[in-house]
């Protein structure tokens, strides 16, 4: 981060300096987890549901933090503010304003933000020093914390923007105004909170609206709600597509998947074409890769560099479509990070591909935050799962009561001969599976974050080797 004195921090945030030397400097990382506080850093104390950061203020300073950003008095050097996220936003914005040469890209969409951000960051890093968030640092806390990591050496910021309501993305765009904006898709993630897909589109489109006239809106031509955002921006529009017959300037043709579901395709751009082989799993990573390619191209990367970079890019964030082959021949697809209807369909498609000719099992937890359409969405996904491949699914294990409608949906498929199994928790799911699993079977594990099925996936991945 750019070194800032406590006096400067107090001025930028409109806060009040307490017990601190105004000339003491913050030059280390700004964190909200006191365990990560380090020398020269700033610890932002947040009152959460389970614990209150203010209780850890002294520990953070003992660990080397210069000061604490707090909303009530603490006994260590601190800047007292009315609202911590607003203070972080003000600080982040002051850093952005102090670094006019940094080019800022924002990525949003209902599914694939983190995957695309990780791909894009691995391309853009080849052009110069790049700051991109770890994992999904994409809200009113993670976003400014990421921006605050930028310093005089930084050339690019590749940011993930999330929204749970109208105005959220507009807010993040004021914290760090992007010149480049990528919109991936409009889907059902958090659709319940938004009140329908049109509201989701309104919210995601705030990124397009925030772009300046000399900016670039990178839009998915295959999603009509995203393409319509072209009307909502002053920026130049560049589209990408993986649909056959598209005339989008950045597109993929000859898409195929290898035995492990890793996509290969020919990347077409106005500059020419190049073969690309991804290390990531699942056809849904084709649009993600195209979005990253379109962004890198706008930042000046040549076609060979893009194709090479995409082929070298690895999955940086855990539990997103990790494919693990056990020594006994069982394949585990760990996609336990999160779930919504679109991403579960994408994962089921990958399961079907990997299980071609063999048996497929799915351990699915519930998809959270779908609002009134929740039951119907779960039934539809269950039906979709029961229809995969030639032989369909050998077993669908629904974890937890809220996931039970998946089984009802699967049973709607009359021709389905697989088993519909209810498990109260992850341990029960593992037990049900253990009695059935044979070498060369493929198992998908997926649910919303709240279900924490990554433990189930980890247990499955570890099991056979011992």
Ligand X SMILES: Nc1ncnc2c1ncn2[C@@H]1O[C@H](COP(=O)(O)OP(=O)(O)O)[C@@H](O)[C@H]1O
Judged by the rule CB under 6 A, the positions of this chain that interact with ligand X are 111-115, 136, 184-185, 284, 287-288, 320-321, 335, 337-338, 342-343, 346-347
Q: Which residues have CB under 8 Å from 349's CB, separation 6+?
A: 282, 283, 284, 388
Closer residue to Mg ion, CB minimum distance, 265 or 319: 319
Of ligand X, Mg ion, none, which one does residue 108 interact with (CB within 5 to 8 Å by kind)? none
Contact 330, 464 (CB under 8 A): yes
Nearer to ligand X, 68 or 364 (CB): 364
Q: How far is residue 427 from each of residues 263, 285, 289, 324, measured CA to CA in Å? A: 33, 31, 36, 20
Query: Phi, psi (5° rounding) for residue 301?
Result: -80, 140
Shorter beta-carbon distance to ligand X: residue 225 or 320: 320
Q: How far is the CB of 184 from ligand X (least distance, A)?
A: 6
User: How far is it, in rounded angstroms, from Cα 461 to Cα 466?
Assistant: 11
Strand partners, 361: 395, 443
Work out what residue 343 binds among Mg ion, ligand X, none; the CB cut-off runs from 5 to 8 Å by kind.
ligand X
What is the distance between the alpha carbons of residues 194 and 202, in angstroms, rounded to a whole number? 10
Of 78 and 114, which CB lies nearer to Mg ion in the complex structure? 114
Point out the residue whose Cβ comes nearest to ligand X.
112
Provide, rounded to whole angstroms, the least separation between the CB of residue 446 and ligand X.
7
Nearer to ligand X among residue 61 and residue 336 (C-beta): 336
Interstrand relation of 30-31 and 42-44 (parallel, antiparallel or unpaired): parallel
- C-alpha–C-alpha distance, residues 232 and 379, integer Å: 35
Q: Which listed option, Mg ion, ligand X, none, makes contact with residue 337 (CB within 5 to 8 Å by class)?
A: ligand X
Interface residues with Mg ion (CB under 5 A)?
A: 113-114, 136
Minimum Å distance from CB 284 to ligand X? Answer: 4
List all residues 6 or more positions away from 236 whose beta carbon is below 8 Å from its beta carbon: 215, 216, 217
Check: CB of residue 423 under 8 Å from CB of residue 399.
yes
For residue 337, the minimal CB distance to Mg ion (Å) is 8
Closer residue to ligand X (CB): 239 or 288: 288
Q: How far is the CB of 40 from ligand X (least distance, A)?
A: 31
- Residue 320 contact among Mg ion, ligand X, none, beta carbon within 5 to 8 Å by kind: ligand X
C-beta of 321: minimal distance to ligand X in Å?
5
């Amino acid at each position: 981060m750019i070194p800032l004195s406590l006096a400067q921090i107090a001025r930028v945030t409109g806060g009040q300096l307490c017990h601190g030397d105004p000339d003491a400097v913050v030059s280390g990382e700004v964190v909200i987890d006191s365990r990560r506080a380090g020398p020269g850093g700033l610890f932002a104390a947040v009152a959460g549901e389970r614990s209150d950061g203010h209780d850890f203020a002294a520990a953070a300073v003992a660990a080397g933090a210069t000061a604490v950003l707090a909303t009530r008095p603490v006994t260590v050097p601190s800047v007292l503010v009315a609202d911590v996220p607003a203070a972080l936003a003000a600080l982040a914005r002051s850093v952005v304003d102090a670094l006019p040469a940094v080019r800022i890209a924002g990525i949003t969409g209902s599914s694939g933000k983190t995957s695309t951000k990780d791909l894009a960051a691995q391309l853009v890093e080849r052009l110069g020093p790049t700051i991109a968030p770890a994992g999904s640092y994409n809200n009113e806390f993670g976003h400014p914390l990421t921006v605050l990591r930028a310093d005089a050496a930084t050339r690019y910021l590749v940011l993930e923007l999330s929204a749970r309501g109208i105005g959220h993305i507009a807010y993040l765009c004021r914290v760090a105004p992007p010149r480049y904006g990528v919109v991936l898709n409009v889907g059902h993630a958090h659709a319940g909170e938004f009140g329908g897909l049109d509201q989701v589109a309104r919210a995601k489109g705030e990124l397009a609206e925030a772009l300046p006239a000399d900016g670039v809106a990178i839009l998915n031509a295959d999603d009509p709600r995203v393409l319509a955002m072209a009307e909502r921006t002053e920026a130049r529009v560049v589209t990408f597509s993986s649909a056959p017959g598209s005339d989008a300037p950045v597109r993929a043709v000859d898409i195929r998947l290898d035995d492990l579901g890793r996509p290969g395709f020919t990347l077409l751009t106005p500059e020419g074409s190049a073969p690309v082989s991804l290390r990531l799993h699942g056809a849904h990573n084709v649009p993600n890769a195209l979005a990253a390619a379109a962004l890198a191209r706008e930042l000046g990367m040549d076609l060979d560099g893009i194709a090479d970079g995409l082929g070298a890019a690895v999955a940086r964030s855990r539990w997103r479509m990790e494919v693990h082959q056990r020594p006994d021949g069982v394949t585990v697809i760990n996609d336990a990070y999160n779930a919504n209807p679109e991403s579960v369909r994408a994962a089921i498609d990958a399961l079907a591909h990997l299980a071609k000719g063999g048996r497929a099992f799915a351990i699915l937890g519930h998809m959270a935050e779908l609002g009134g359409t929740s039951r119907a969405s779960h039934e539809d996904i269950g039906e979709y799962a029961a229809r995969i491949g030639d032989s369909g699914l050998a077993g669908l294990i629904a974890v937890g009561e809220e996931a039970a409608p998946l089984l009802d949906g699967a049973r709607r498929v009359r021709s389905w001969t697989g088993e519909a199994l209810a498990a109260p928790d992850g341990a029960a799911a593992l037990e049900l599976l253990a009695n059935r699993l044979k070498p060369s079977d493929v198992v998908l594990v997926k649910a919303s974050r709240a279900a924490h099925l990554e433990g189930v996936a980890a247990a499955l991945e570890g099991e056979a080797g011992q």
